[in-house]
Structure 1
């Protein structure tokens, strides 16, 4: 019996599953979302690209590499799940130790068009069936990569962006994953979903192409919170009610026409 995507994820310690690398790291449970989308591709001879591999190196601190995750956990997961796929990975840190008969990695900055051009030239691939962005999470980079790689996606292909954060203009966040140049990527894409227009300012280089070639966008994994009914002590709630925060989705799946 074939393992589920979540089972494979948990084996390698990627936070895309339900366990993550250790008890110190909260898992995202993205794999249960992804499998219904990806199952039909599982045995196919597809071209697959993952942006951001979660590997240690001098250019980016990868805190996720600990416990069960020895580095590159998710690309190892994709290799086992997609048994006939050509799998490409790009990361700002060198990780050629992950290369094998079907995996090929490249040291690339996803926010630099010249380097993306170099990757496409060296990969020898014209189009991809599935692209997953789990890179820097910086909205500038996510939007630059989306604009560039959506044109390299096959008709009917899927483009997935992970970790849609409140990290753009007006979100009052700082740090290495934040930007004061553009609106956060969730906002940019949800505005298109609701109105047919992308929020600005953004780093989308060809909005017309995106708008005319997106078949649909779906958002997943909103943040779950708890509302308490307070009893005599605020420290001992007598009941609790779960609800989902508005505009807290962490993942979007985009299908190309």
Structure 2
């Protein structure tokens, strides 16, 4: 079934970050010339600000109240819902991955050489811990203080907020993205030419979904019955809870990220052509 409505936004320059503010129903977009946009549900600009440097990575809380941005290789900036800077801090390493918890309190920064720092809402270190490999993809669990993380190759793991390892799983596939079904903490991993690999909340394998292409980006909703996946070959798929394809389309441009609303039948994707697209189904 194709989307009922499609809305598009075009940034001034290449999109470097795209994050939903789910409870506000808005979207924050960053581009390569340092512009930050807050867009409404039909992708009209509500707020616009310019930073001194372009955003390299962007993360935003589900509440919409706070976000975090990486400037350069090691400057972490906390932002509020008005896109104003709350604080900035320089971490003593190059950043591999940036994530923020659903309530906007904790910001996780992983290092390219391995290791993690978690900052609280006052830029104080809440925890520091080492990891077997550098974490490239991180998701916070909504219902409990747990982090699900994956390295680019060889590791899928869960940690608490102190850095204590809950479990880890040797995962010998390349990982380009991961999504967590928050209802039951099922984990779905974009494993490139090995499709979507599925794990339970203990990290045990529960099978895979093979698509026609090399899966590079992935997002799912709260219950897991709406998943968007993109491929290196510029395809976009909508999947149900069992991984069956409900709709697919080809995109003229490389897809940079995909996102799915936690509750509503809504998805977003950004492309290398400066575009952000909103899809809504019945």
Give TM-score, length-normalised by structure 2: 0.30
Higher strand share: 2
Higher helix share: 1
Whichever of the two has the greater Rg, that structure is 1
Give TM-score, length-normalised by structure 1: 0.32
